[in-house]
Structure formats: C-alpha cells, structure tokens
Structure 1
Amino acid sequence: MSVATEAGAPVVVTPSGPVRGRVHADGGVVEFLGLRYAQAERFGAPVPEPAWDDVRDARNPGPQCPQLASRMDAIAGPSNADELGQDEDCLRLSVRAPADVRPDERLPVLMWIHGGAYVIGGVDLSWYDTARLVREGRVVAVGVGYRLGVLGWLRSPGVSPGNLGLADLAAALHWIHRHIAAFGGDPDAVTLVGESAGAHAIACLMGAPDLRPLFHRVVLQSGQLGLGLGTERSAARVAGYVDDALDGADPRTVGVDALLEAQRRAMVRHAGPGGINSSPAFTPVAGIAPLVGVSAADPWVAAAHSGHPMIIGTTLDEANTFVHIAPPLRRLRRRFPTAVGVGSRLATHRVFTWPAQRLATRAAAAGTTVSTYRFTWSAPDSDLGACHAIELPFLFGGREAWQEAPMLAGASWDDDVEPLGRSLRRWWLDFVTGRESAAQTPSSASASR
C-alpha cells in the first residue's frame, strides 16, 4: 500500500481514483469507509463505479440498505444503526489495513459478509468493526454491504430478476480483485467470512463457477443451510404478496417507505398463521443467475465441490435467538416452556447443525480441507444459551460494541470473552493467512465455557 498523508489523513491511490481515509480510533489501523463499489438503479444490476480524479472522502461510514426495524438489539445489545441511516445507494464497502503496510507487501484479505436473514443489517454497524482482526492477524479486511429484503431479493419478471443481493456481492468480489492491492491486500488470497445469511450467501457464491476464482477460502458461521433456496414458485407467491400490498403502485417508482411496508406485509403473509413458517420470504432463488444450474432440491452440491478450504460450524442453541425475538414464540414459551425448548433444539438441528455437517462431510469426501466447530459457551445470567450470533463478540472483540449484549449477561469481558475471543480469532486468522496447522484447526472443535 502506497500511502500519502493529507492533513494527517491517509490517502491511497486506487485504480479508480484516490481515496482519503482515517486512522482507526484504537491506532495501528487505517480505514476507508463507505467506498462505493458499484451503482445500481432500483431492481437493476450493479454496474462498476466510474473512475474519478479528485480525492474522494472515505472517512465516514456508508448508509445501510433500507430495511425494517430490527429486533436483534434484544440479543446483541445497542448498535449505531440509527447513526448510519438508510439509503438505496448502499453498495458500499469498508477497508481496514495495518497502518504500516509496506508498498511491496501483499497481505491476505478477509471479506466479511454480515447476516440478518437477508432483510436487516449493514456493513458499518459497530458490532462488525474488523480492526482487531486486522491488528492481530496482519490482514486487510473488507466489509461489504448489499441490497436486502424486497430491494435485493424480489423475483418478479418485468420488475426484478431476483438474486440482486448475490449480484452485489459478485460485484464486490470483482472490485476487490481489481482494487485491493492498492490497500496492501493480495487479490489471490481472499477468504470469505460470513455469519447467518452471510454464510448462506457464501455457500451460494461457492455454487457459481464463474465466481469461484475470485475467492480462495471460506468460513461459514451458522448458515441457515437447512432452509435451502427459494424456487420460482415460492418467489412468485411472495411477489404476488408484494403486489397486493402495493395495491397497483409500481414497485419500481413507489416511495421506499411504501415499498418497505409492502415487504413487511408480504413477510407476515408468508409466515402464515402464528408466524410458524420459518423459511425467509426474501431469499436467493435457485436457477436464477448466478445460481444457474443449482437445484432447490439439493442446493449445496455445487458448494461442496467448489474446492475451497473451509471452516464451518454452528452454535449449540441457534434457535433460541429466534424464539427470543419473535413475540408469538415468546408467548408460547411462557405457556409451554418444555415443548418450545424441544422445538428449539429440533429447529437448531434441522436448520443449522445437520446441514452444516452434511456440507462438511460432502466437501471432505470431494477432497477439500474442512474444519468444523460447535460453539457451546453460554453466559451465566442469560437464558439464551449458546444462541445464534453468540460467537460474534468473540470474533470481533469490540468491548464497547458488545458489552451490553443480553446474550453475554453476567459474563466477565476480561475473564470470559477476551481469552476465548483471542483463541477464536487466532484460529480464524491462521486459516485466513494460511498459517493453520493440524493442531490449530482440528476436524472438530468445541468452544465451551
């Protein structure tokens, strides 16, 4: 990375033009935030951002994709979501790198894809600050935002082709391939790391032969692989719900608030009576680019044969998160705690654990290097157990961002989170950098309290 300084701020000259970043608050890391990697009209394909001449400011986080209110604060604690705002101009990414990268250095690249059931989340949420990963692993980290909900996943011929969120991630991969060397990264050493929908999206990208050469390793954390992919039939049904909710308004031109309300109503109808249908309304659809040739009947065959070395795993009590944030399920748990507990364990196995094990087994049988884990740690004063997303505070290690998380209730940051977090980050980072050994990446690992 060739860095100049302008008024104390780092400036990097990329193939598209110069960008001005800032030094991370914790020091030792430079960051370039809210970089636009592509542009897209509503329901249009992403196109590369045109080149520029003047120094472009990259000191402020980019906006989130427009989305409905999230309930994840009840699990993860408060975030900076309100400060980030929302905008359809959301095809942004953020790059962090060691401040002392030499001009001739090419560091491994970690690309983070956030979760949120394909309907919520954002790249610059305070939860996902990658600075510790950059410092401890000497890597370049790229967090990527993509279109969510109706904007990213509506499949309605004549309106939206579907799978636009995957098209966005593909555009980000192409941007990284072309630009990351300017920040000190190696475009031939890119590891995709994602949690929940982020992991599910990575499994989709693994199934697209044209995209496979753009990344080299994968870490799949708690992907909801058991929910599979949407079909033309399910996508058409959801599109019909959206049309009904819009009552004749054109989704291509209606205001974004009206579009989000249509999304909300479509999700409610899709969930059915009591909200018991757990499959997402807005999701990747099998057979639609870049998933051409991928079958909804057995969607992860292509991923298993992609050849990418893999870490894959789940938490012990994944479904507890969804019981906790869904009001109907919380009410049901108060009346029938034993039955809901059994149902939660069954859902964890069907949606998360068993499909992850199956993908790992298939990939290993195909000759791929695979490491698996189960995260079993739980906080002493939390009834959430080792719930969905519990490993994220340990991975990112941001005390300020995570210390109020209800899922960590009663835990000591210094005695519980820090020691296990250092171990978890070391495992992930040794994998990203190619430094792993048989002792450090066993075929099965359990992180427990």
Structure 2
Amino acid sequence: MTDHEISMEVEDGRIQGLFIDGVHRYLGVPYAAAPFGENRFRPPQPVRSWTGERDCRQLGATAPQLPYAGGMEKFLGTASIAGEEILNLAIWAPERTRAELAPVIVWIHGGSLTRGSNALPIYDGTTFARDGVVFVGVNYRLGSEGFSVLDGAETNLGLADQIAALRWVRRNIWSFGGDPSRVTVMGESAGAITIAALLALPDAASLFDRAIMQSGPPDARRPAVSGAVTRIMAKLLGVKQDRAAFAEFSPAALLAAQRRATVGTTPITGGPAFNLTIGGEHVPLHPRDALDAGAGAAIPVLMGANTEEYRLWFIPTGLIEKIGRLHIVAAMAKFRISAATVRLYRRNRPGCSIGELFGALATDLLLRIPLNRLADARLRANAAPSFVYEFAWRSPVDELGACHALELGFVFDTLRSPDAAAMAGPEAPQRLADDMHAAWVRFAATGDPGWPAWDGTRPVKVWDGGADAVVLAPREDERSRWRSAEVPKRAPGRAPRRWRR
C-alpha cells in the first residue's frame, strides 16, 4: 500500500496522521492542555475538544530547554520545536492485519529532567511498530517549568504530566490498535528515575502493566535539597521563590537563570540540579522506601545499567583528567567507602587512572548497587519477575567505552540516527541491536525478555556484543563490599569548586 494520509477518532476529537512504510504515525497528539498562561506551574489540565480534524502529521512542540554544551553536544542532540502545546505524544502503530490488539510501550525520555523530547531521531518508534508494538513517546515539562520547588505550586509537575499521559494511553490506545491491558512504561536515566517513582505509587498498576528502567535508580530528595536550584534561580532573578514570581518570567528567562544555577553540575559529581521532590500526591515517600516495602510488586520489571556510565560525563568534558586522590578520599569519607573496597576496585582494573577508579566507584554507588538492591527487595517481597541486564559493549569513539546512554541506539534499533552514530561509530554491531531490540519487544509482549528472572543466583544478561551471556552475580567481590549505609538515597551534593572548572 502506498504512503497516504489517515485519520481516526480519539476522546477529544478527530486527528489526522500519516501511513508511511507500513506504519501509522500520529505526532503531536495532545494529552493535556498547554501548561502556560493560566495553566503555568499548575497540574496538567484537560484538553479542550475540537471540531474537524486536528493535524497530527508533524512532531509536536518540545518543552523549553537548553542545548547540551561543554563537549556533551558532540554526542547528545537537542530538538527544539516552537509552540506552547508541549504536552503531546508521538505515536507509531503497526498496520492492523488481525483483530488481536498489540502490546504498547510508553517511552519516558531522559535528560537530567532538563532536556530531551519525543522528537529526537534516536527515539523514533518506527522500529517498534515494525515489530508489532504500538509505541508512544511522551513530552513532559522539564527544568523549572516541571520540577521547581515553589510556594503556591505543586511539586513534581513533570511527573504529573507523565501520569496524565499514561492515563490518556489507557483510555485511548485501543483506537491505535494497542492493548490497554499490556502497557509497558520504559525510560532511561531521568526517565527511569521517574518510572521508579511511578512504580512506587499505590495505584501504579492502574497506570501500566510492565516497566523497563534503563540506567536510573529509585531516587528523590527532600524539598530542602531538591529546592536548592530553585532558591539559586530566585536569587539570580531577584524574586521570591513562589509561583506568582516565577510565572512573571518567560521560559527563556528562566532557562538563562537555570544555566547559571547549574553550571558544572553532573549526575556523577553532583551539584544543584532538578530532582523529584519527596512529599505531595505523586512522591509521597522516597521511592526506594516504598519499593522496599513491596510497592509495585505486581508489575514485572526489566532493569539495568551500563558498565562505564561515568564516561559520558568524564570524557567529553575532560573531567577524567582533573580528578585526583583527594577526590577519592573525600568520596570515601562522605559515603563510608572502605580503603579495602577502593583497593579491590583498583586491583580489578590494572592500569586505571584515578579518574577511572573514581568513575567505577561512582557508577556502582549511584546505579548498579541500587538496582541490584531493588531486584533483591522485589525478590524478598515475592514480587512479579525482575530481569536484570548490564550493557557492556564498548564504543571505540573517543574512549567513551560502555558509557551512559550508549545502549539507546541498540534498544531502539536506530544505530544510524545522528546521536547513536556519534556515540557508537559507523561499525556498531547490528546483531547486538537486533537482539536487544527483540528482547525489549518480547518483554513488552509477554513480560519475559528471554533470560532467567532474578533469584538467589543473581543472573544478569550481559550485552557485550560477543556471547551476550547470562552471568551469575557478576563482580560479586565488588558488590559484596558495599554496605547499605554507603549507598545514598541521593546523589553526591555540590561538587568541590575545583571539579567544576
């Protein structure tokens, strides 16, 4: 069948899309009203119904955000599409050839809660639709618009947007051939952190049926901590830290203040940043505490991290060369890391630099160990199966190794997209993309990605581009060194000034 325009009815009106190469595409589909004007810094409001057909042939507006800088822009792109109707979905659906409804994946992008959108080519859902999945990419409020701590405003508005999107999917996805009883929510980095918070909600099962968390652990901060960046911005702007004052500024003005307030911050070294805030309707408890107590037990989870997460922030910025022994000593004191643990990590990495040693410790402290502990907690609670992976294939590009976000081009099978190609290079193994993508599709369809569920033997699927074997308790000598007191409920605080230059 040739490419052509298509249309369908959703709850608020009729939408027009495109049928291209066997895939139905409806882009820029609103799930909530524009969060500006009277809706600024308010929970997501309902969309007003429309008459006639709404044009959903082009990607919708993106949340206000700054492009990456300081070397990161070489590997991480930014899509900027003007408009106020930023609370929109991009939907790719397979052509329906039978009556059976298809599994659904709802994608929550990462980007430190300040960047990202469903318009990035690496997140194109065509490959999932090709393989029988209805794929939905969510745009939500970012930065100060979505995660400020302001008097007179609710916290976690960006998370509230995600909840509104998931509820819209439950109500409407059958129109696209999707099965509303087989919805998998999937996210990476900050997107995975928000999914952990969603999984911890008492009504999580009303929102989705399965969850995929890539390189993001359960995390949230007390208002005094998560509000630090908002306090700094208020001081820079010369106003009170409240809704009315911030609403007087344009999104561009808030972005300029945000840039100044967060200079030098990284997820590994810390610093003022936007985070989920504990308290209120959407994060009533620290997600880790709720999950430890059995929240989300009915929902199967696929989760994992990359072997060298830290290299994405350390290599492009040159930070890897600036970290010295004093930084290791400071980390040991702050997180009660024993000297024996540090010696073990160094012994297991002969010839590693101080920066690489610090990065390996930080990757485990902030990602691998918390995700292992989440899998353990779910096992103790007799929860639905948990499946754990590690992405270990090392990019040959600029010594990035198995860095943060490298797995995205493989999971999406979009290795030729600009961001994936920049990170993985032109010779990235297509077979690895084929296999990882198929496993994610299989999990969405059946709840089983194809390797053993977590149990007392600690099985981990290691995606290395070679054997891609299941390894029992990888690097157990290192994992067993950590104590619960050493693993924080939050990332490190503000980095020492000399790190941020």
Which residue of 47, 57, 60 corresponds with 1:59? 57
User: Partner residue of 1:165?
Assistant: 158
Give the Cα separation in 1 of the matches to 2:267 and 2:214. Answer: 25
Gap change, CA 1:404 and 1:308, over 3 Å in 2: closer
1:424 aligned partner, one-letter code: M
User: Partner residue of 2:220?
Assistant: 229
Asked if structure 2 preserves the Cα contact closer than 8 Å seen for 1:96 and 1:130, the reply is yes
User: Partner residue of 2:322?
Assistant: 332
User: Partner residue of 1:378?
Assistant: 394
User: Partner residue of 2:198?
Assistant: 205
User: Partner residue of 2:468?
Assistant: none
User: Partner residue of 2:18?
Assistant: 22
Gap change, CA 1:188 and 1:253, over 3 Å in 2: same
Give the Cα separation in 2 of the matches to 1:437 and 1:379. Answer: 24
User: Partner residue of 1:13?
Assistant: 9
Asked if structure 2 preserves the Cα contact closer than 8 Å seen for 1:117 and 1:196, the reply is yes
Give the Cα separation in 2 of the matches to 1:404 and 1:219. Answer: 20
User: Partner residue of 2:230?
Assistant: 239
State whether structure 2 residue 433 is matched by structure 1 residue 421: yes
Give the Cα separation in 1 of the matches to 2:294 and 2:83. Answer: 32
User: Partner residue of 2:448?
Assistant: 436
Give the Cα separation in 2 of the matches to 1:209 and 1:117. Answer: 25
Q: Residue deviations 1:198-219, cap 9 Å, x none?
A: 1111000011113432200011
Which residue of 421, 424, 432 corresponds with 1:408? 424
Secondary structure of the 1:400 match is coil
State whether structure 2 residue 290 is matched by structure 1 residue 288: no
Deviates more, 1:354-363 or 1:336-345: 336-345
Deviation at 1:268, TM superposition (A): 3.4
Q: Residue deviations 1:226-279, cap 9 Å, x none?
A: xx212121134333212101113821121221111122222239x5xx998516
User: Partner residue of 1:358?
Assistant: 373
Gap change, CA 1:31 and 1:100, over 3 Å in 2: same
Gap change, CA 1:318 and 1:304, over 3 Å in 2: farther
Asked if structure 2 preserves the Cα contact closer than 8 Å seen for 1:133 and 1:396, the reply is yes
Give the Cα separation in 1 of the matches to 2:372 and 2:70. Answer: 26
Gap change, CA 1:432 and 1:319, over 3 Å in 2: same
Give the Cα separation in 2 of the matches to 1:213 and 1:33. Answer: 25
User: Partner residue of 1:174?
Assistant: 167
Which residue of 292, 295, 302 corresponds with 1:301? 292
Gap change, CA 1:377 and 1:176, over 3 Å in 2: same
Q: Residue deviations 1:349-378, cap 9 Å, x none?
A: 011100011111111221220111111001
Q: Return 5+ residue gaps in structure 1 as ranges.
A: none
Cα RMSD between the aligned structures?
2.9
TM-score, normalization by structure 2:
0.79
State whether structure 2 residue 35 is matched by structure 1 residue 33: no
Q: Percent identity?
A: 32
Gap change, CA 1:195 and 1:236, over 3 Å in 2: closer
Q: List aligned pairs for 1:263-274, cutoff 5 A.
A: 263-268=258-263, 271=265
Give the Cα separation in 1 of the matches to 2:374 and 2:316. Answer: 28
Deviation at 1:68, TM superposition (A): 1.5
Aligned residue pair count: 427
Give the Cα separation in 2 of the matches to 1:110 and 1:219. Answer: 10
Give the Cα separation in 2 of the matches to 1:154 and 1:403. Answer: 29
Gap change, CA 1:366 and 1:233, over 3 Å in 2: same
User: Partner residue of 2:499?
Assistant: none
Asked if structure 1 preserves the Cα contact closer than 8 Å seen for 2:8 and 2:14, the reply is yes
Give the Cα separation in 2 of the matches to 1:77 and 1:431. Answer: 28
Deviates more, 1:180-189 or 1:70-79: 70-79
Gap change, CA 1:435 and 1:207, over 3 Å in 2: closer
User: Partner residue of 1:343?
Assistant: 358
Asked if structure 1 preserves the Cα contact closer than 8 Å seen for 2:62 and 2:139, the reply is yes
Gap change, CA 1:237 and 1:248, over 3 Å in 2: same
User: Partner residue of 1:369?
Assistant: 385
Asked if structure 2 preserves the Cα contact closer than 8 Å seen for 1:304 and 1:360, the reply is no
Asked if structure 2 preserves the Cα contact closer than 8 Å seen for 1:67 and 1:86, the reply is no
User: Partner residue of 1:254?
Assistant: 249
State whether structure 2 residue 66 is matched by structure 1 residue 68: yes
Secondary structure of the 1:286 match is coil
Gap change, CA 1:437 and 1:111, over 3 Å in 2: closer
User: Partner residue of 1:116?
Assistant: 111
Give the Cα separation in 2 of the matches to 1:396 and 1:210. Answer: 29
User: Partner residue of 2:305?
Assistant: 314
Asked if structure 1 preserves the Cα contact closer than 8 Å seen for 2:93 and 2:177, the reply is yes
Give the Cα separation in 1 of the matches to 2:375 and 2:453. Answer: 14
1:287 aligned partner, one-letter code: G
Asked if structure 2 preserves the Cα contact closer than 8 Å seen for 1:377 and 1:447, the reply is yes
Q: List aligned pairs for 1:99-114, cutoff 5 A.
A: 99-102=95-98, 104-114=99-109
User: Partner residue of 2:349?
Assistant: none
Q: Residue deviations 1:384-427, cap 9 Å, x none?
A: 11000111111111243147634313x524xx1x1011110111
Secondary structure of the 2:180 match is strand
Gap change, CA 1:277 and 1:14, over 3 Å in 2: same
1:68 aligned partner, one-letter code: L
State whether structure 2 residue 212 is matched by structure 1 residue 196: no
Secondary structure of the 2:262 match is helix
